[in-house]
Structure 1
Amino acid sequence: MTLATIAALATHAVHGHSRVVTDGVSIVVLAGEGDTEVLVGVAAVRLSPGDLVVVPPGSDLTVTPLPGSRALYAELPAFVLEPWCPPSESPAVARGDLARVAAGALVALHADPPADPAALADVLGALARLLAAATAGARPDVSPDALLRSRILRHIDTAIRLGPVAPGDTAHRFGISVRKLHQLFAGQSRSFMQTVMDRRASWCALELRTIADATPAALARRWGFADSSHFERAWSRLDPSAAGGRVHGG
Protein backbone atom coordinates (compact mmCIF):
# COMPACT_ATOMS: atom_id res chain seq x y z
CA MET A 1 0.00 0.00 0.00
CA THR A 2 1.57 3.26 -1.08
CA LEU A 3 0.61 6.11 1.23
CA ALA A 4 0.99 8.69 -1.50
CA THR A 5 -2.22 10.55 -0.72
CA ILE A 6 -1.26 11.69 2.76
CA ALA A 7 1.81 13.55 3.96
CA ALA A 8 2.94 15.28 7.11
CA LEU A 9 3.48 19.02 7.37
CA ALA A 10 5.64 20.12 4.45
CA THR A 11 6.96 23.69 4.21
CA HIS A 12 8.45 25.33 1.15
CA ALA A 13 10.16 28.70 0.71
CA VAL A 14 8.82 30.68 -2.25
CA HIS A 15 11.14 33.19 -3.89
CA GLY A 16 9.41 33.65 -7.24
CA HIS A 17 6.09 33.21 -9.02
CA SER A 18 4.78 29.73 -8.11
CA ARG A 19 1.59 27.85 -8.89
CA VAL A 20 0.29 25.07 -6.66
CA VAL A 21 -2.82 22.91 -6.85
CA THR A 22 -3.92 22.03 -3.32
CA ASP A 23 -4.78 18.41 -3.93
CA GLY A 24 -6.46 17.10 -0.79
CA VAL A 25 -4.55 19.27 1.69
CA SER A 26 -4.99 22.73 3.11
CA ILE A 27 -2.28 25.23 2.24
CA VAL A 28 -1.16 28.03 4.51
CA VAL A 29 0.60 30.94 2.85
CA LEU A 30 2.37 33.70 4.72
CA ALA A 31 4.63 36.60 3.87
CA GLY A 32 8.00 36.49 5.60
CA GLU A 33 9.49 39.76 4.36
CA GLY A 34 7.94 42.40 2.14
CA ASP A 35 4.55 41.76 0.54
CA THR A 36 3.24 38.73 -1.31
CA GLU A 37 0.37 38.46 -3.75
CA VAL A 38 -1.74 35.31 -3.55
CA LEU A 39 -4.31 34.27 -6.13
CA VAL A 40 -6.78 31.57 -5.07
CA GLY A 41 -8.85 30.79 -8.15
CA VAL A 42 -10.05 34.27 -9.12
CA ALA A 43 -9.78 35.72 -5.59
CA ALA A 44 -6.71 37.91 -5.05
CA VAL A 45 -5.16 38.49 -1.62
CA ARG A 46 -2.21 40.71 -0.71
CA LEU A 47 -0.28 39.63 2.38
CA SER A 48 2.05 41.74 4.49
CA PRO A 49 4.67 40.33 6.90
CA GLY A 50 3.00 38.14 9.50
CA ASP A 51 -0.25 37.73 7.54
CA LEU A 52 -1.43 34.33 6.39
CA VAL A 53 -4.21 32.72 4.39
CA VAL A 54 -5.67 29.25 4.83
CA VAL A 55 -6.69 27.82 1.47
CA PRO A 56 -9.22 24.98 1.19
CA PRO A 57 -8.31 21.68 -0.50
CA GLY A 58 -8.71 21.46 -4.26
CA SER A 59 -7.86 25.12 -4.86
CA ASP A 60 -5.75 26.52 -7.68
CA LEU A 61 -3.19 28.65 -5.85
CA THR A 62 -0.61 31.10 -7.22
CA VAL A 63 1.96 32.74 -4.93
CA THR A 64 3.96 35.74 -6.14
CA PRO A 65 6.41 37.36 -3.70
CA LEU A 66 7.01 40.98 -4.71
CA PRO A 67 10.60 42.15 -5.39
CA GLY A 68 12.76 41.88 -2.29
CA SER A 69 10.25 39.72 -0.42
CA ARG A 70 9.90 36.04 0.33
CA ALA A 71 7.01 33.80 1.26
CA LEU A 72 6.45 30.37 2.72
CA TYR A 73 3.68 27.92 2.09
CA ALA A 74 2.91 24.88 4.16
CA GLU A 75 0.95 21.81 3.18
CA LEU A 76 -1.08 20.35 6.02
CA PRO A 77 -3.33 17.28 5.77
CA ALA A 78 -6.93 18.50 5.62
CA PHE A 79 -8.12 16.00 8.23
CA VAL A 80 -5.78 17.60 10.81
CA LEU A 81 -7.43 21.01 10.42
CA GLU A 82 -11.00 19.74 10.22
CA PRO A 83 -11.65 19.43 13.99
CA TRP A 84 -10.51 23.03 14.51
CA CYS A 85 -11.57 24.77 11.30
CA PRO A 86 -14.97 23.61 9.98
CA PRO A 87 -14.69 23.05 6.21
CA SER A 88 -14.98 26.17 4.08
CA GLU A 89 -14.93 26.67 0.33
CA SER A 90 -13.36 30.12 0.64
CA PRO A 91 -9.82 31.14 1.67
CA ALA A 92 -9.53 32.59 5.17
CA VAL A 93 -7.15 35.52 5.61
CA ALA A 94 -5.70 36.26 9.04
CA ARG A 95 -3.93 39.42 10.17
CA GLY A 96 -2.89 40.72 13.57
CA ASP A 97 -1.23 39.26 16.65
CA LEU A 98 -2.60 35.71 16.42
CA ALA A 99 -1.73 35.52 12.74
CA ARG A 100 1.84 36.60 13.52
CA VAL A 101 2.12 33.90 16.19
CA ALA A 102 0.87 31.22 13.77
CA ALA A 103 3.13 32.56 11.01
CA GLY A 104 6.09 32.53 13.38
CA ALA A 105 5.34 28.92 14.33
CA LEU A 106 5.37 27.89 10.67
CA VAL A 107 8.63 29.73 10.03
CA ALA A 108 10.17 27.98 13.04
CA LEU A 109 8.93 24.57 11.88
CA HIS A 110 10.36 25.25 8.42
CA ALA A 111 13.76 26.25 9.83
CA ASP A 112 13.92 23.58 12.52
CA PRO A 113 11.52 20.63 12.05
CA PRO A 114 10.72 18.68 15.24
CA ALA A 115 13.43 16.16 16.04
CA ASP A 116 10.98 13.63 17.49
CA PRO A 117 8.67 12.37 14.73
CA ALA A 118 6.68 10.43 17.31
CA ALA A 119 5.36 13.79 18.54
CA LEU A 120 3.97 14.60 15.09
CA ALA A 121 0.31 14.35 16.10
CA ASP A 122 0.82 16.77 18.98
CA VAL A 123 2.78 19.25 16.82
CA LEU A 124 0.18 19.23 14.06
CA GLY A 125 -2.65 19.51 16.57
CA ALA A 126 -1.05 22.55 18.19
CA LEU A 127 -0.53 24.15 14.77
CA ALA A 128 -4.16 23.48 13.82
CA ARG A 129 -5.34 25.19 17.02
CA LEU A 130 -3.18 28.23 16.25
CA LEU A 131 -4.50 28.47 12.70
CA ALA A 132 -8.10 28.11 13.87
CA ALA A 133 -7.68 30.90 16.42
CA ALA A 134 -5.91 33.16 13.91
CA THR A 135 -8.55 32.75 11.20
CA ALA A 136 -11.66 32.62 13.41
CA GLY A 137 -12.79 36.11 12.45
CA ALA A 138 -12.25 35.46 8.74
CA ARG A 139 -14.46 32.39 8.50
CA PRO A 140 -18.19 32.41 7.81
CA ASP A 141 -20.52 31.68 10.70
CA VAL A 142 -21.11 27.98 11.17
CA SER A 143 -24.10 26.23 12.67
CA PRO A 144 -24.18 25.00 16.28
CA ASP A 145 -24.24 21.43 14.95
CA ALA A 146 -21.08 22.05 12.89
CA LEU A 147 -19.32 23.48 15.94
CA LEU A 148 -20.41 20.52 18.07
CA ARG A 149 -19.25 18.11 15.38
CA SER A 150 -15.84 19.81 15.39
CA ARG A 151 -15.61 19.40 19.17
CA ILE A 152 -16.49 15.72 18.80
CA LEU A 153 -13.77 15.28 16.16
CA ARG A 154 -11.24 16.79 18.57
CA HIS A 155 -12.39 14.34 21.23
CA ILE A 156 -12.06 11.43 18.77
CA ASP A 157 -8.46 12.39 17.94
CA THR A 158 -7.55 12.23 21.63
CA ALA A 159 -9.65 9.21 22.56
CA ILE A 160 -8.49 6.91 19.75
CA ARG A 161 -5.01 6.88 21.27
CA LEU A 162 -6.40 5.68 24.60
CA GLY A 163 -8.78 2.90 23.59
CA PRO A 164 -12.12 2.14 21.92
CA VAL A 165 -14.41 5.07 21.06
CA ALA A 166 -18.06 4.12 21.53
CA PRO A 167 -21.16 6.15 20.59
CA GLY A 168 -22.65 5.86 24.08
CA ASP A 169 -19.57 7.14 25.90
CA THR A 170 -19.09 9.95 23.37
CA ALA A 171 -22.72 11.08 23.58
CA HIS A 172 -22.57 11.07 27.39
CA ARG A 173 -19.40 13.17 27.36
CA PHE A 174 -21.10 15.89 25.32
CA GLY A 175 -24.45 15.71 27.09
CA ILE A 176 -26.42 14.55 24.07
CA SER A 177 -28.32 11.41 23.16
CA VAL A 178 -26.81 8.67 21.01
CA ARG A 179 -29.50 9.47 18.45
CA LYS A 180 -28.37 13.11 18.32
CA LEU A 181 -24.76 11.99 17.93
CA HIS A 182 -25.63 9.91 14.89
CA GLN A 183 -27.76 12.76 13.49
CA LEU A 184 -24.73 15.08 13.64
CA PHE A 185 -22.93 12.81 11.19
CA ALA A 186 -25.96 11.76 9.13
CA GLY A 187 -25.45 14.57 6.61
CA GLN A 188 -21.72 13.94 6.31
CA SER A 189 -19.96 11.58 3.93
CA ARG A 190 -19.23 9.12 6.76
CA SER A 191 -21.16 7.96 9.82
CA PHE A 192 -19.84 8.49 13.35
CA MET A 193 -18.20 5.05 13.63
CA GLN A 194 -16.86 5.27 10.07
CA THR A 195 -15.36 8.66 10.97
CA VAL A 196 -13.66 7.14 14.02
CA MET A 197 -12.14 4.41 11.84
CA ASP A 198 -11.11 6.91 9.15
CA ARG A 199 -9.29 9.11 11.65
CA ARG A 200 -7.49 6.11 13.15
CA ALA A 201 -6.34 5.14 9.67
CA SER A 202 -5.35 8.68 8.67
CA TRP A 203 -3.22 9.31 11.76
CA CYS A 204 -1.65 5.86 11.49
CA ALA A 205 -0.81 6.43 7.81
CA LEU A 206 0.65 9.85 8.58
CA GLU A 207 2.99 8.47 11.23
CA LEU A 208 3.90 5.50 9.05
CA ARG A 209 5.22 7.90 6.41
CA THR A 210 7.03 10.04 8.96
CA ILE A 211 8.61 7.72 11.53
CA ALA A 212 11.39 5.95 9.67
CA ASP A 213 12.01 3.08 12.08
CA ALA A 214 8.39 2.37 13.03
CA THR A 215 6.81 -0.89 11.95
CA PRO A 216 3.29 -0.99 10.51
CA ALA A 217 2.26 -3.48 13.20
CA ALA A 218 3.46 -1.25 16.06
CA LEU A 219 1.77 1.86 14.69
CA ALA A 220 -1.42 -0.06 13.94
CA ARG A 221 -1.60 -1.11 17.59
CA ARG A 222 -0.82 2.45 18.74
CA TRP A 223 -3.83 3.76 16.82
CA GLY A 224 -6.21 1.03 17.96
CA PHE A 225 -6.04 -1.53 15.15
CA ALA A 226 -5.79 -5.23 15.89
CA ASP A 227 -2.86 -5.60 13.48
CA SER A 228 -1.38 -4.12 10.30
CA SER A 229 -3.86 -6.05 8.11
CA HIS A 230 -6.74 -4.38 9.94
CA PHE A 231 -5.14 -1.00 9.26
CA GLU A 232 -4.57 -1.87 5.58
CA ARG A 233 -8.25 -2.69 5.10
CA ALA A 234 -9.30 0.58 6.74
CA TRP A 235 -6.81 2.64 4.74
CA SER A 236 -7.77 1.02 1.44
CA ARG A 237 -11.29 2.40 1.92
CA LEU A 238 -9.84 5.92 2.19
CA ASP A 239 -7.32 5.39 -0.61
CA PRO A 240 -8.74 2.89 -3.14
CA SER A 241 -5.56 3.14 -5.24
CA ALA A 242 -3.70 1.49 -2.36
CA ALA A 243 -5.85 -1.64 -2.31
CA GLY A 244 -3.85 -4.80 -2.81
CA GLY A 245 -0.51 -3.12 -2.19
CA ARG A 246 1.88 -3.24 0.72
CA VAL A 247 2.05 -0.78 3.57
CA HIS A 248 5.30 1.13 3.67
CA GLY A 249 6.50 4.46 4.91
CA GLY A 250 8.01 5.94 1.77
Structure 2
Amino acid sequence: MRWQTNTRPQAEQYSYWREVVCEAFTPLRPTARGARDSWDREGLSGWVETHAFGAVNGAEIGTCDQTIHHGKAEVDRLEEGVAFVNLMLRGRSVVTQGGSMCLSGPGTFSIVDATRPFRLDYLDDWRAISFRIPLELIPDGVAEADTAVRHATSRGLASVLADTMRAAWRAGTTLDDDQANGAGLAVVSLATALLRNSPATEFAADPVGGTVLRENIEHFVARHLQYGEVTPTAVAQHFGISVRKLHLLYEDRPATFGQTVMTLRAEQCAEDLLANPGGLTLTDLAAKWGFSDLSHLNRVFRRRFGCRASEYARQAPHVSAP
Protein backbone atom coordinates (compact mmCIF):
# COMPACT_ATOMS: atom_id res chain seq x y z
CA MET A 1 0.00 0.00 0.00
CA ARG A 2 1.28 3.47 -0.85
CA TRP A 3 0.17 6.95 0.17
CA GLN A 4 1.55 10.27 -1.09
CA THR A 5 0.56 13.80 -0.27
CA ASN A 6 0.96 15.25 -3.75
CA THR A 7 -2.35 13.62 -4.70
CA ARG A 8 -4.08 16.13 -2.41
CA PRO A 9 -4.54 19.91 -2.63
CA GLN A 10 -1.73 21.75 -0.89
CA ALA A 11 -4.04 23.00 1.86
CA GLU A 12 -4.95 19.40 2.78
CA GLN A 13 -1.50 17.84 2.65
CA TYR A 14 -0.57 18.29 6.32
CA SER A 15 -3.82 16.84 7.65
CA TYR A 16 -3.57 13.98 5.16
CA TRP A 17 0.04 13.30 6.19
CA ARG A 18 -0.96 13.21 9.83
CA GLU A 19 -3.70 10.68 9.05
CA VAL A 20 -1.34 8.65 6.83
CA VAL A 21 1.39 8.44 9.46
CA CYS A 22 -1.10 7.35 12.10
CA GLU A 23 -2.63 4.81 9.71
CA ALA A 24 0.68 3.32 8.64
CA PHE A 25 2.43 3.21 12.00
CA THR A 26 0.96 4.09 15.38
CA PRO A 27 -0.59 7.23 16.91
CA LEU A 28 1.85 10.02 15.99
CA ARG A 29 1.65 13.80 15.82
CA PRO A 30 3.85 15.51 13.21
CA THR A 31 4.54 19.23 13.56
CA ALA A 32 6.85 21.81 12.07
CA ARG A 33 10.23 21.82 13.81
CA GLY A 34 10.11 24.10 16.84
CA ALA A 35 6.30 24.19 16.88
CA ARG A 36 4.25 22.38 19.48
CA ASP A 37 1.05 21.66 17.58
CA SER A 38 1.15 23.41 14.24
CA TRP A 39 2.36 23.29 10.67
CA ASP A 40 3.36 26.77 9.50
CA ARG A 41 4.26 25.96 5.88
CA GLU A 42 2.38 25.69 2.64
CA GLY A 43 1.89 22.05 1.85
CA LEU A 44 3.83 19.00 3.02
CA SER A 45 5.63 16.72 0.58
CA GLY A 46 5.81 13.09 1.65
CA TRP A 47 5.03 9.46 0.83
CA VAL A 48 4.72 6.18 2.70
CA GLU A 49 4.72 2.63 1.33
CA THR A 50 3.99 -0.39 3.52
CA HIS A 51 4.16 -4.19 3.26
CA ALA A 52 3.07 -6.82 5.77
CA PHE A 53 5.61 -9.42 6.89
CA GLY A 54 3.29 -11.61 8.90
CA ALA A 55 2.63 -9.87 12.21
CA VAL A 56 5.48 -7.46 11.46
CA ASN A 57 4.91 -4.39 9.29
CA GLY A 58 7.57 -2.83 7.09
CA ALA A 59 7.47 0.66 5.61
CA GLU A 60 9.56 3.08 3.61
CA ILE A 61 8.99 6.77 4.23
CA GLY A 62 10.24 9.85 2.43
CA THR A 63 9.36 13.39 3.47
CA CYS A 64 10.63 16.78 4.65
CA ASP A 65 12.16 17.98 7.93
CA GLN A 66 9.67 17.92 10.83
CA THR A 67 9.23 16.74 14.41
CA ILE A 68 7.15 13.65 15.09
CA HIS A 69 5.71 13.39 18.60
CA HIS A 70 4.47 10.30 20.37
CA GLY A 71 3.38 11.67 23.73
CA LYS A 72 1.10 10.49 26.53
CA ALA A 73 -2.04 11.19 24.49
CA GLU A 74 -0.70 9.07 21.64
CA VAL A 75 0.39 6.29 24.02
CA ASP A 76 -3.12 6.20 25.51
CA ARG A 77 -4.59 5.62 22.03
CA LEU A 78 -2.24 2.74 21.31
CA GLU A 79 -4.13 -0.43 20.37
CA GLU A 80 -1.10 -2.75 20.44
CA GLY A 81 2.28 -2.59 22.13
CA VAL A 82 4.90 -2.23 19.38
CA ALA A 83 8.53 -1.27 18.90
CA PHE A 84 10.03 0.39 15.83
CA VAL A 85 13.41 -0.23 14.23
CA ASN A 86 14.07 2.90 12.14
CA LEU A 87 16.87 2.60 9.56
CA MET A 88 17.93 5.96 8.13
CA LEU A 89 18.67 6.06 4.40
CA ARG A 90 18.92 9.85 4.05
CA GLY A 91 18.82 12.80 6.44
CA ARG A 92 19.33 13.06 10.19
CA SER A 93 17.04 12.49 13.15
CA VAL A 94 17.45 13.33 16.83
CA VAL A 95 15.76 10.43 18.62
CA THR A 96 14.62 10.98 22.21
CA GLN A 97 12.97 8.52 24.57
CA GLY A 98 13.09 8.54 28.35
CA GLY A 99 16.50 9.77 29.44
CA SER A 100 18.22 8.75 26.19
CA MET A 101 18.96 10.79 23.08
CA CYS A 102 20.93 10.01 19.92
CA LEU A 103 21.56 11.45 16.47
CA SER A 104 20.78 8.88 13.78
CA GLY A 105 21.95 9.54 10.23
CA PRO A 106 22.36 7.56 7.01
CA GLY A 107 23.73 4.08 7.67
CA THR A 108 22.49 3.97 11.28
CA PHE A 109 19.30 2.89 13.01
CA SER A 110 17.61 3.29 16.38
CA ILE A 111 14.83 1.54 18.27
CA VAL A 112 11.87 3.12 20.09
CA ASP A 113 9.14 1.55 22.22
CA ALA A 114 5.68 2.94 21.45
CA THR A 115 4.31 2.03 24.90
CA ARG A 116 6.32 5.01 26.20
CA PRO A 117 6.54 8.59 24.86
CA PHE A 118 9.25 9.38 22.30
CA ARG A 119 10.15 12.14 19.84
CA LEU A 120 11.77 12.03 16.40
CA ASP A 121 13.18 15.40 15.34
CA TYR A 122 14.14 15.21 11.65
CA LEU A 123 16.67 17.92 10.84
CA ASP A 124 16.62 17.45 7.05
CA ASP A 125 14.52 16.01 4.26
CA TRP A 126 14.71 12.32 5.02
CA ARG A 127 14.01 8.77 3.92
CA ALA A 128 13.94 5.66 6.11
CA ILE A 129 12.95 2.02 6.30
CA SER A 130 10.97 1.24 9.44
CA PHE A 131 9.87 -2.13 10.80
CA ARG A 132 7.06 -2.23 13.36
CA ILE A 133 7.38 -5.25 15.68
CA PRO A 134 4.67 -6.33 18.15
CA LEU A 135 6.23 -6.37 21.60
CA GLU A 136 4.65 -9.76 22.28
CA LEU A 137 7.16 -11.19 19.78
CA ILE A 138 10.14 -9.82 21.74
CA PRO A 139 10.75 -11.85 24.90
CA ASP A 140 11.09 -9.50 27.89
CA GLY A 141 10.21 -6.51 25.70
CA VAL A 142 12.50 -3.54 25.09
CA ALA A 143 14.44 -2.16 28.06
CA GLU A 144 14.45 1.61 28.48
CA ALA A 145 18.24 1.64 28.19
CA ASP A 146 17.99 0.10 24.71
CA THR A 147 15.81 2.83 23.19
CA ALA A 148 17.09 5.99 21.44
CA VAL A 149 20.52 4.37 20.97
CA ARG A 150 22.29 4.75 17.64
CA HIS A 151 23.45 1.53 15.98
CA ALA A 152 25.99 1.77 13.15
CA THR A 153 25.39 -0.71 10.33
CA SER A 154 29.00 -1.05 9.21
CA ARG A 155 29.77 -4.18 11.23
CA GLY A 156 28.58 -6.72 13.74
CA LEU A 157 25.03 -7.84 14.40
CA ALA A 158 23.67 -4.37 13.59
CA SER A 159 25.03 -4.87 10.06
CA VAL A 160 23.23 -8.21 9.77
CA LEU A 161 19.95 -6.73 11.00
CA ALA A 162 20.17 -3.74 8.65
CA ASP A 163 21.04 -5.99 5.67
CA THR A 164 18.09 -8.24 6.50
CA MET A 165 15.71 -5.27 6.75
CA ARG A 166 16.89 -3.92 3.39
CA ALA A 167 16.68 -7.33 1.70
CA ALA A 168 13.22 -8.09 3.16
CA TRP A 169 11.95 -4.68 2.08
CA ARG A 170 13.31 -5.03 -1.47
CA ALA A 171 11.75 -8.49 -1.83
CA GLY A 172 8.49 -7.59 -0.10
CA THR A 173 6.22 -7.55 -3.13
CA THR A 174 7.63 -10.83 -4.48
CA LEU A 175 7.15 -12.93 -1.33
CA ASP A 176 4.17 -15.17 -0.68
CA ASP A 177 2.54 -15.09 2.77
CA ASP A 178 4.73 -17.82 4.28
CA GLN A 179 7.92 -16.26 2.90
CA ALA A 180 6.91 -12.80 4.11
CA ASN A 181 6.17 -14.19 7.56
CA GLY A 182 9.60 -15.85 7.61
CA ALA A 183 11.27 -12.56 6.68
CA GLY A 184 9.39 -10.79 9.47
CA LEU A 185 10.42 -13.44 12.00
CA ALA A 186 14.04 -13.08 10.89
CA VAL A 187 13.91 -9.34 11.60
CA VAL A 188 12.33 -10.03 15.00
CA SER A 189 14.96 -12.63 15.89
CA LEU A 190 17.85 -10.38 14.92
CA ALA A 191 16.39 -7.37 16.73
CA THR A 192 15.84 -9.50 19.83
CA ALA A 193 19.41 -10.79 19.70
CA LEU A 194 20.73 -7.26 19.34
CA LEU A 195 18.69 -6.06 22.31
CA ARG A 196 19.95 -8.92 24.45
CA ASN A 197 23.57 -8.26 23.50
CA SER A 198 24.19 -12.01 23.24
CA PRO A 199 23.63 -12.81 19.58
CA ALA A 200 25.19 -16.24 19.45
CA THR A 201 23.23 -17.50 22.47
CA GLU A 202 20.04 -16.23 20.89
CA PHE A 203 20.83 -17.76 17.54
CA ALA A 204 21.81 -21.08 19.07
CA ALA A 205 18.36 -21.29 20.65
CA ASP A 206 16.48 -19.90 17.67
CA PRO A 207 16.67 -21.76 14.33
CA VAL A 208 15.22 -18.81 12.41
CA GLY A 209 17.82 -16.37 13.71
CA GLY A 210 20.58 -18.97 13.37
CA THR A 211 19.71 -19.60 9.76
CA VAL A 212 19.72 -15.89 8.97
CA LEU A 213 23.10 -15.28 10.57
CA ARG A 214 24.68 -18.36 8.96
CA GLU A 215 23.35 -17.30 5.56
CA ASN A 216 24.84 -13.82 6.02
CA ILE A 217 28.16 -15.32 7.14
CA GLU A 218 28.31 -17.65 4.15
CA HIS A 219 27.39 -14.86 1.76
CA PHE A 220 30.21 -12.77 3.25
CA VAL A 221 32.68 -15.67 2.98
CA ALA A 222 31.73 -16.41 -0.63
CA ARG A 223 32.35 -12.75 -1.58
CA HIS A 224 35.75 -12.67 0.12
CA LEU A 225 37.17 -16.12 -0.64
CA GLN A 226 39.71 -15.04 -3.21
CA TYR A 227 40.85 -11.62 -2.02
CA GLY A 228 39.60 -11.25 1.55
CA GLU A 229 40.25 -12.65 5.00
CA VAL A 230 37.86 -15.49 5.89
CA THR A 231 39.57 -17.01 8.92
CA PRO A 232 37.31 -17.66 11.93
CA THR A 233 38.85 -14.68 13.72
CA ALA A 234 38.26 -12.28 10.82
CA VAL A 235 34.69 -13.46 10.20
CA ALA A 236 33.78 -13.35 13.89
CA GLN A 237 35.16 -9.82 14.19
CA HIS A 238 33.18 -8.67 11.15
CA PHE A 239 29.91 -9.95 12.63
CA GLY A 240 30.64 -8.78 16.17
CA ILE A 241 30.71 -12.23 17.79
CA SER A 242 33.43 -14.35 19.37
CA VAL A 243 35.19 -17.17 17.51
CA ARG A 244 33.63 -19.64 19.94
CA LYS A 245 30.16 -18.28 19.18
CA LEU A 246 30.87 -18.54 15.45
CA HIS A 247 31.67 -22.24 15.81
CA LEU A 248 28.57 -22.74 18.00
CA LEU A 249 26.40 -21.58 15.10
CA TYR A 250 27.59 -24.67 13.18
CA GLU A 251 27.45 -27.10 16.11
CA ASP A 252 24.21 -28.75 14.94
CA ARG A 253 25.01 -28.50 11.23
CA PRO A 254 26.32 -31.30 8.96
CA ALA A 255 29.58 -29.36 8.41
CA THR A 256 31.72 -27.21 10.69
CA PHE A 257 32.50 -23.60 9.83
CA GLY A 258 35.90 -24.64 8.45
CA GLN A 259 34.38 -27.39 6.31
CA THR A 260 31.74 -24.95 5.07
CA VAL A 261 34.46 -22.53 3.93
CA MET A 262 36.25 -25.34 2.09
CA THR A 263 32.99 -26.41 0.44
CA LEU A 264 32.45 -22.84 -0.75
CA ARG A 265 35.98 -22.86 -2.19
CA ALA A 266 35.24 -26.11 -4.04
CA GLU A 267 31.98 -24.71 -5.42
CA GLN A 268 33.76 -21.60 -6.73
CA CYS A 269 36.41 -23.81 -8.32
CA ALA A 270 33.70 -25.97 -9.89
CA GLU A 271 32.07 -22.88 -11.36
CA ASP A 272 35.38 -22.00 -12.98
CA LEU A 273 35.66 -25.53 -14.37
CA LEU A 274 32.23 -25.34 -15.97
CA ALA A 275 32.53 -21.75 -17.16
CA ASN A 276 35.66 -20.28 -18.67
CA PRO A 277 38.82 -21.01 -16.72
CA GLY A 278 41.01 -19.48 -19.41
CA GLY A 279 43.28 -22.50 -19.77
CA LEU A 280 44.08 -22.75 -16.05
CA THR A 281 45.37 -26.10 -14.87
CA LEU A 282 43.76 -27.80 -11.90
CA THR A 283 46.86 -26.93 -9.88
CA ASP A 284 46.38 -23.26 -10.80
CA LEU A 285 42.72 -23.42 -9.84
CA ALA A 286 43.59 -25.02 -6.51
CA ALA A 287 45.95 -22.13 -5.75
CA LYS A 288 43.41 -19.56 -6.97
CA TRP A 289 40.72 -20.77 -4.59
CA GLY A 290 42.86 -21.27 -1.52
CA PHE A 291 43.68 -24.98 -1.45
CA SER A 292 47.10 -25.99 -0.20
CA ASP A 293 47.67 -28.33 -3.16
CA LEU A 294 45.86 -30.50 -5.72
CA SER A 295 45.44 -33.36 -3.24
CA HIS A 296 43.67 -31.01 -0.85
CA LEU A 297 41.38 -29.84 -3.66
CA ASN A 298 40.53 -33.42 -4.61
CA ARG A 299 39.69 -34.39 -1.01
CA VAL A 300 37.26 -31.49 -0.68
CA PHE A 301 35.83 -32.15 -4.15
CA ARG A 302 35.19 -35.78 -3.28
CA ARG A 303 33.35 -34.78 -0.10
CA ARG A 304 31.26 -32.16 -1.95
CA PHE A 305 30.73 -33.70 -5.40
CA GLY A 306 31.56 -37.37 -4.91
CA CYS A 307 34.47 -37.32 -7.35
CA ARG A 308 37.93 -35.86 -7.83
CA ALA A 309 38.34 -32.47 -9.50
CA SER A 310 39.93 -34.11 -12.55
CA GLU A 311 36.83 -36.28 -12.99
CA TYR A 312 34.56 -33.29 -12.55
CA ALA A 313 36.69 -31.41 -15.09
CA ARG A 314 35.76 -33.85 -17.83
CA GLN A 315 32.51 -31.93 -18.08
CA ALA A 316 34.69 -28.99 -19.19
CA PRO A 317 37.17 -30.41 -21.74
CA HIS A 318 38.98 -27.08 -22.23
CA VAL A 319 40.52 -27.46 -18.76
CA SER A 320 44.00 -28.87 -19.01
CA ALA A 321 45.48 -31.46 -16.66
CA PRO A 322 48.15 -30.37 -14.17
User: Shorter-chain TM-score: what band?
Assistant: 0.3 to 0.5
TM-score by length of 2: 0.36
Whose relative contact order is higher, 1 or 2, with alpha carbons under 8 Å and at least 6 apart? 1
